[in-house]
């Protein structure tokens, strides 16, 4: 079986390419992952929805719900919890007397009130029998509360948790009925093994009973609250559902289901969309103290007139010691009772959030389509254009998701399709990178033979030189790099052999130029060459030989470009010229066999080497082919046309370095034109350092007009841009005219 799968995958990979085959496998894996929906993927989706709520929380325009809060001041004034049921009865009477529509307890009264007189009589043996009999005749506090419940529209809360292991009743009080449309909803509903009710006397007296238990998401955040649940194998309404039913005098509620689970619940004549498990997505507003009144103020009768009139009332607690604080997208410690209050506000204002079942299919389809488009387009358009296209698509998908949330309250998951397509993109880029690295490695191995013949002769004559170690000496270092190599190699994605042949074609003449001028090729780094002079054999003219090699490299590359342009015209292929940048520097280095006892190379180390590499990196920025350091320029100034470019401060070094370009050998170019240019450009730089911007630009324009065939238009553009910038924003007073490199 696994052999067949491997052979099929291998066949696909050979037809479409390994990169595409791997990316396609990753894409199918993401589709399967969404069907599994593990916790990390779910949390990514939920956190994106949280971000929407943080950016645009619900605006409260009406407050149909009031919370009677058992807060810290209430506990301080009326004593520790639980309070006597007589106090709770008074609270119920006061709430209803203030004109409340209905009241619900986010509290469960699971045990008899221990402060009832008859229970106290039994608990105090020192009482006289007469006193004991008198106390037995007094009504139970539970009975007093039950009478208050009978006079009112009250819903008692029930819990799914039984932390103290109370013995539960098995003769439940009949509860409100429910009807179903579309089949039995039980398999889809949130299920708890137990139901912790109130004592029977209170439950019989109440107009309704509802569950207030909430199960948060995997990260502990409450985003959805059930409207109906299954507990102790019975369908039970939630506290908010039952409160709405009692408040409107309805006899039952309706549950609508389909093949995907619960679709909605109808209560008080309002159809509320739910998720497949019968839970409502809450659109939260920030915590609002105006929703609350203190329980002690209600019991004392000091609540302002009209505060409770025509309101739905929830009795709960915000006191820290009673442990009813929950995390929400907007608040890490919101009282649980306020979650129920906000849910009621959502239902009554029809502002609940919705996530229809069909969205999952839409999100998976979008992820698949975008992934396939990425796999198809990257080889055609290239990684950069596909990335830009993908970024635009991400903005569109994100905007659509945001508009659905803000305009219609629909939760569309943009994170999953964007994440899956981005991973597919990264896989393709990584595979292409590995392929390109493999191609470069082949080229490095093939050109490993390019080492100085003098070194080979010395090692043959004296094998002891293979030992590790080095010597310090003055050397000249050269770095060269082909510009825009990534764009060039992108043309050969389907033809790696063609890329190898191309690199052989340009590395061979460049290497020959170095070797012919008695240089040693240290290493190849893809299209980059590092070489040095004055080792292993001494060479008193190492600076001049390095400059001659650089000029020869440029000339040979120009001839190669002419050949390639002619070939492209015949074959009809796109022609991209090869352009090289060269950096040369002279200084003290350590040269010798570097590495380990098992493997080492003859190489060179030192600050001079690092500077040469950085000079090569700056050649494109200054619009010249060759850049040399000041030590090299001083040594060859009598034989080459050397033009001072700038004074720069490389990253990691405090002292500036004067840099120059080599225009050619002194005896091979227009000496008169070079002298004029050298003097004029020197005057321009002096005016530039002196912040005489007008004079600097005037001289620069004269250099442009004269040109002299040196091809320095890009260099003039660099200074022109700087001068214009300094005219708009002058440099600081301590400016020394040195240009600081921001990168290596």
**Residues 695-708, mean pLDDT to the nearest whole number:** 88
Q: Which two tokens stand for residue 464?
A: 């002891």
pLDDT attached to residue 582: 96
pLDDT for res 10: 47
Mean pLDDT of 6-11: 48
- Tens digit of each residue's pLDDT (9 = 90 or more) over 239-296: 998 999 998 888 888 888 887 888 888 887 788 888 888 899 999 999 888 899 999 9
The region of weakest confidence among 74-88, 173-187, 254-268, 403-417 is: 173-187
Q: pLDDT tens-digit profile of 334-367?
A: 888 899 999 998 988 888 888 887 888 888 888 8
Poorest-confidence range of 160-174, 257-271, 426-440, 681-695? 160-174
Q: What mean pLDDT comes out for the span 222-236?
A: 87
Give yes or no for a contact between 344 and 284, defined as CB atoms under 8 angstroms apart: no
What is the structure's pLDDT at 6? 46
* Higher pLDDT among residues 50 and 160, named by residue: 50
Q: So what's the pLDDT on residue 77? A: 86
| 35-70 residue pLDDT tens | 787 888 888 888 888 899 999 999 888 889 999 988
Cα–Cα distance for residue pair 404/410, rounded to 1 Å? 5
Going by the DSSP 8-state scheme, the letter that residue 625 receives in this structure is: S
Res. 1: pLDDT tops 50: no
Helix axes 141-150, 85-97, angle to 10 degrees: 20
In the prediction, which pLDDT does 5 show? 45
List Cα–Cα distances, 399 to 50, 478, 553, 555, in angstroms.
Answer: 16, 52, 53, 54
Give the model's pLDDT for residue 13: 44
Residue 682 scores a pLDDT above 50 = yes
Q: pLDDT band at 450, cuts 50/70/90?
A: very low
418, pLDDT greater than 50? yes
Helix ranges restricted to H, 287-414: 295-300, 336-349, 358-381, 383-403
The chain-wide mean pLDDT, for the chain, equals 83
What was the pLDDT predicted at 128? 62
Q: Is the pLDDT of residue 196 over 90?
A: no
Closest CA to 657 of 666, 667, 648, 644: 648
CA 441, CA 535: separation in Å to the nearest integer?
Answer: 26
**Cα(299)–Cα(703) distance, integer angstroms:** 93
Top mean pLDDT of 39-53, 88-102, 117-131, 452-466 is at: 88-102
Of the candidates 324, 328, 304, 302, the one whose C-alpha atom is nearest the C-alpha of residue 314 is: 324
Which residue would you say has higher pLDDT here, 459 or 645?
645
Q: Decide: 50 and 283 in contact? Cβ < 8 Å.
A: no
Could you tell me the pLDDT band of residue 510, with boundaries at 50, 70 and 90? Answer: very high
Alpha carbons 241 and 178: distance in angstroms, whole number: 11
Confidence of residue 693 (pLDDT cuts 50, 70, 90): very high
Query: Taking 80 as the threshold, does the pLDDT of residue 390 lie above it?
Result: no
Q: Is it the case that residue 2 has pLDDT exceeding 50? A: no
DSSP character string of 489-521: HHTTTT-HHHHHHHHHHHHHHHHHHHHHTT-EE
> Per-residue pLDDT tens for 284-293?
999 888 899 9
Q: In order of start, what are the domains of the chain with their CATH numbers?
A: 2-55+356-432 (no CATH), 65-349 (no CATH), 450-636 (3.30.70.1230), 664-744 (no CATH)
Spell out the long-range contacts of 395-400 with Cβ–Cβ below 8 A and sequence spacing 24 or more: 397/366
Give the pLDDT mean for 399-425. 86
Q: CB neighbours (10 Å) of residue 269?
A: 8
Looking at residue 448, its pLDDT comes to 42
**At 447, is the pLDDT very low, low, confident or very high (cuts 50, 70, 90)?**
very low
Lowest mean pLDDT across 62-76, 364-378, 619-633, 688-702: 364-378
């Amino acid at each position: 079986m696994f052999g067949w799968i491997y052979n099929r995958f291998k066949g696909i990979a050979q037809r479409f390419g390994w990169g595409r085959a791997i990316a396609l496998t990753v894409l199918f894996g993401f589709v399967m992952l969404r069907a599994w929906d593990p916790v990390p993927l779910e949390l990514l989706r939920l956190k994106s929805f949280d971000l929407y709520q943080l950016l645009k929380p619900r605006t409260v325009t009406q407050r149909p719900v009031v919370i009677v809060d058992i807060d810290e001041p209430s506990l301080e004034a009326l004593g520790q919890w639980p309070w006597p049921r007589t106090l709770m009865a008074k609270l119920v009477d006061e709430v209803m007397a203030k004109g409340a529509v209905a009241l619900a307890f986010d509290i469960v009264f699971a045990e008899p009130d221990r402060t009832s007189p008859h229970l106290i009589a039994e608990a105090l043996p020192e009482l006289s029998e007469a006193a004991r009999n008198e106390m037995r005749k007094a009504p139970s506090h539970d009975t007093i509360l039950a009478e208050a419940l009978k006079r009112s529209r009250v819903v008692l809360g029930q819990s799914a948790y039984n932390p103290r292991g109370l013995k539960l009743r098995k003769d439940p009080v009949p509860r409100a009925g429910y009807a179903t449309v579309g089949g039995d909803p039980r398999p889809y509903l949130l299920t708890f093994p137990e139901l912790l009710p109130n004592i029977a006397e209170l439950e019989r007296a109440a107009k309704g009973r509802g569950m207030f238990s909430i199960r948060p998401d995997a990260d502990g955040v409450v985003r959805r609250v059930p409207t109906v649940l299954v507990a102790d194998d019975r369908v039970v309404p939630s506290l908010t559902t039952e409160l709405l039913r009692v408040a409107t005098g309805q006899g039952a509620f309706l549950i609508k289901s389909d093949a995907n689970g619960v679709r909605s619940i109808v209560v008080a004549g309002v159809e509320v969309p739910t998720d497949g498990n019968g839970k409502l997505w809450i659109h939260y507003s920030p915590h609002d103290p105006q929703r609350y009144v203190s329980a002690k103020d209600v019991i004392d009768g000091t609540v302002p007139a009209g505060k409770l009139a025509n309101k739905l009332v929830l009795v709960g607690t915000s006191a820290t010691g009673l442990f009813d604080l929950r995390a929400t997208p907007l608040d890490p410690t919101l009282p649980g009772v306020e979650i129920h209050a906000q849910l009621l506000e959502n239902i009554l204002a029809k502002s609940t959030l919705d996530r229809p079942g069909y969205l999952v299919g839409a999100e998976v389809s979008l992820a698949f389509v975008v992934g396939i488009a990425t796999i198809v387009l990257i080889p055609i358009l290239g990684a950069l254009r596909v990335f830009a296209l993908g970024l635009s698509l991400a903005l569109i998908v994100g905007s659509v998701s945001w508009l659905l949330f803000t305009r219609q309250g629909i939760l569309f998951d943009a994170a999953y399709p964007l994440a899956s397509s981005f991973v597919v993109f990264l896989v393709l880029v990584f595979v292409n990178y590995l392929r390109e690295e493999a191609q470069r490695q082949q080229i490095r191995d093939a050109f490993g033979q390019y080492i100085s013949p003098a070194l080979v002769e010395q090692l043959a004559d004296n094998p002891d030189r293979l030992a590790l170690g080095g010597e310090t000496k003055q050397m000249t270092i050269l770095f060269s790099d082909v510009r825009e190599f990534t764009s060039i190699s992108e043309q050969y994605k389907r033809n790696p052999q063609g890329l190898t042949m191309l690199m052989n074609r340009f590395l061979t003449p460049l290497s020959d130029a170095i070797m012919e001028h008695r240089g040693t090729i240290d290493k190849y780094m893809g299209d980059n060459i590092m070489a040095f002079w004055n080792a292993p054999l001494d060479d008193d003219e190492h600076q001049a030989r390095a400059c001659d090699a650089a000029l020869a490299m440029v000339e040979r590359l120009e001839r190669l470009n002419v050949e390639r342009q002619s070939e492209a015209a015949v074959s009809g292929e796109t022609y991209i010229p090869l352009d090289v940048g060269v950096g040369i520097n002279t200084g003290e280095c350590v040269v010798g066999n570097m590495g380990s006892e098992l493997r080492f190379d003859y190489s060179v180390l030192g600050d001079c080497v690092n500077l040469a590499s950085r000079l090569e990196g700056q050649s494109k920025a200054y619009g010249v082919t060759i850049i040399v350091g000041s030590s090299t320029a001083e040594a060859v100034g009598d034989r080459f046309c050397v033009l001072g470019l700038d004074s720069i401060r490389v990253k990691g070094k405090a002292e500036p370095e004067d840099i120059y370009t080599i225009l050619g050998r002194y005896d091979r170019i227009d000496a008169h034109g070079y002298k004029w240019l050298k003097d004029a450009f020197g005057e321009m730089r002096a005016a530039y350092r002196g912040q005489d911007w007008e004079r600097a630009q005037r001289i620069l324009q004269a250099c442009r007009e004269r040109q002299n065939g040196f091809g320095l238009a890009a260099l003039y553009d660099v200074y022109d841009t700087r001068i214009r910038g300094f005219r708009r924003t002058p440099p600081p007073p301590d400016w020394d005219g040195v240009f600081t490199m921001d990168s290596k």
